[in-house]
């Protein structure tokens, strides 16, 4: 019975010792074994590993390619144009011991890298004109940025896999000014188009009015000619009729005169009853 009292604590002690002695390194990790904060071992391969319990502890570091989004940075180009650059980087911890000694953990590493990237972006892009930064030549500038960042990141045991610009925008004040300038330019073009349209409308209207005048003049001329020809033909017919029967012709002309003089109108005439005008009404005095 007395021996049994000691077996259970011993088993618990052995279990606790094994529990605090064993650790597993996953595929995505690499580990540093520390003894009172002093690095003792670097473990790069995954698997089951051992450490001294209560004396040593393990720091796990990611060995995958990690993403880093840097805060937007204002860059002044060589032509004094301002640009807001939003970049991101992809990095990998390739020397865990150097990484642990220089920056300690991933949070500090990200902060240091963001500062380096933004500084390098200002340095490289600040030597170029705005037009270059917005063109296809920007890839060359990004290669220079990556190279510069990599040179400094090596001191932290980090390799920069890639640096890219996600977005490059003008500051809000510049964007508003450009928008207003574009709006003014479009309004000017619209006024030019309207002025040209009005000028073309006047030209077309003037040409049409001229053509109408010419057509009307030609029509009036032809009308007068046809009217003259008709009058001539009418007179010829009257003349022929007068030659054949002068008395009937005189009667016909008198009827036309009566129609014009006596029918309609408000004109008053005073004539003698024996006037020649009434000869076809008969003369009772004779």
Q: The domain spanning residue 133 has which CATH number?
A: 3.30.479.30
* Residues 45, 98 share a domain: no
* Residues 141, 125 share a domain: yes
Domain that holds residue 275: 237-281
* Residues 78, 153 share a domain: yes
Residue 142, pLDDT > 50, answer yes
Residue 135, pLDDT > 70, answer no
What span, in angstroms and rounded, lies between the C-alpha atoms of 209 and 215? 10
* Residues 83, 52 share a domain: no
* Residues 108, 28 share a domain: no
Write out pLDDT tens, residues 216-264.
Answer: 888 888 888 888 888 777 777 767 766 666 666 667 776 776 666 666 5
Comparing 54-68, 126-140, 149-163, the range with the smallest average pLDDT is: 126-140
Residue 178 pLDDT class (50, 70, 90 cuts): low
Residue 183 is encoded by which pair of tokens? 């709006």
Which whole number is the average pLDDT over 71-87?
80
Comparing 62-76, 106-120, 125-139, the range with the smallest average pLDDT is: 125-139
CB-based contact 39:97 (threshold 8 Å): yes
Residue 201 located in a structural domain: no
* Residues 145, 57 share a domain: no
Which percentage of the chain shows pLDDT scores above 70?
A: 76
| Residue appearing with tokens 């045991």 | 157
Which whole number is the average pLDDT over 254-276?
63
Residue 66, pLDDT > 70, answer yes
Residue 284, pLDDT > 50, answer no
Of 126, 155, 174, the last residue of a domain is: 174
Q: Which H or E element spans position 160? A: strand 158-169
Of 62, 95, 117, the last residue of a domain is: 62
Residue 222 located in a structural domain: no
Residue 218 located in a structural domain: no
pLDDT score, position 45: 92
If you average pLDDT over every residue of the chain, what do you get? Answer: 80
Residue 60 pLDDT class (50, 70, 90 cuts): very high
Residue 163 located in a structural domain: yes
The DSSP string of 191-212 is: HHHHHHHHHHHHHHHHHHHHHH
* Residues 44, 71 share a domain: no
Of 62, 94, 118, the last residue of a domain is: 62
pLDDT score, position 285: 44
* Residues 170, 89 share a domain: yes
pLDDT score, position 10: 74
Residue 223 located in a structural domain: no
* Residues 93, 44 share a domain: no
* Residues 51, 118 share a domain: no
CA 30 to centroid of chain Cα atoms: 49
| Residue appearing with tokens 């996953």 | 26
What span, in angstroms and rounded, lies between the C-alpha atoms of 60 and 84? 36
What span, in angstroms and rounded, lies between the C-alpha atoms of 208 and 214? 10
What span, in angstroms and rounded, lies between the C-alpha atoms of 45 and 33? 13
CA Rg, the chain, in Å? Answer: 56
* Residues 95, 31 share a domain: no
Residue 216 located in a structural domain: no
CB-based contact 90:41 (threshold 8 Å): no
10 vs 171, which has greater pLDDT? 10
What span, in angstroms and rounded, lies between the C-alpha atoms of 214 and 220? 10
Residue 261 located in a structural domain: yes
Residue 185 pLDDT class (50, 70, 90 cuts): confident
Residues contacting residue 213 through CB under 8 Å, at least 6 positions apart = none
Count of domains for the chain: 3
Residue 194 located in a structural domain: no
Model pTM score? 0.55
pLDDT score, position 61: 94
């Amino acid at each position: 019975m007395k021996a049994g009292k000691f077996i259970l604590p011993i088993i618990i002690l052995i279990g606790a010792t094994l529990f605090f002695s064993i650790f597993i390194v996953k595929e995505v990790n690499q580990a540093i074994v520390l003894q009172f904060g002093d690095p003792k071992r670097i473990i790069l391969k995954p698997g089951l590993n051992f450490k001294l319990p209560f004396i040593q502890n393990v720091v796990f570091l990611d060995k995958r390619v990690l993403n880093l989004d840097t805060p937007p940075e204002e860059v002044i180009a060589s032509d004094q144009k301002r640009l807001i650059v939003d970049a991101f980087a992809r990095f990998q911890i390739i020397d865990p011991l150097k990484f642990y000694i220089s920056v300690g953990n991933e949070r500090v590493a990200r902060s240091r890298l963001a500062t380096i990237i933004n500084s390098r972006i200002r340095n490289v892009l600040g030597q170029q004109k705005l037009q270059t930064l917005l063109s296809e030549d920007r890839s060359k500038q990004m290669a220079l940025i990556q190279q510069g960042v990599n040179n400094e990141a090596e001191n932290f045991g980090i390799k920069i896999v890639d640096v890219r610009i996600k977005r490059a925008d003008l500051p809000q004040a510049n964007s508003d000014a450009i928008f207003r300038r574009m709006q003014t330019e479009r309004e000017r073009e619209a006024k030019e188009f309207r002025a040209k349209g009005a000028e073309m409308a006047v030209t077309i209207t003037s040409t049409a009015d001229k053509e109408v005048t010419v057509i009307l003049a030609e029509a009036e001329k032809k009308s007068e000619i046809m009217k003259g020809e008709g009058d001539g033909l009418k007179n010829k017919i009257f003349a022929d009729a007068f030659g054949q029967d002068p008395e009937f012709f005189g009667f016909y002309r008198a009827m036309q005169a009566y129609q014009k003089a006596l029918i309609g109108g408000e004109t008053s005439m005073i004539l003698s009853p024996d006037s020649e005008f009434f000869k076809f009404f008969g003369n009772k005095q004779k």
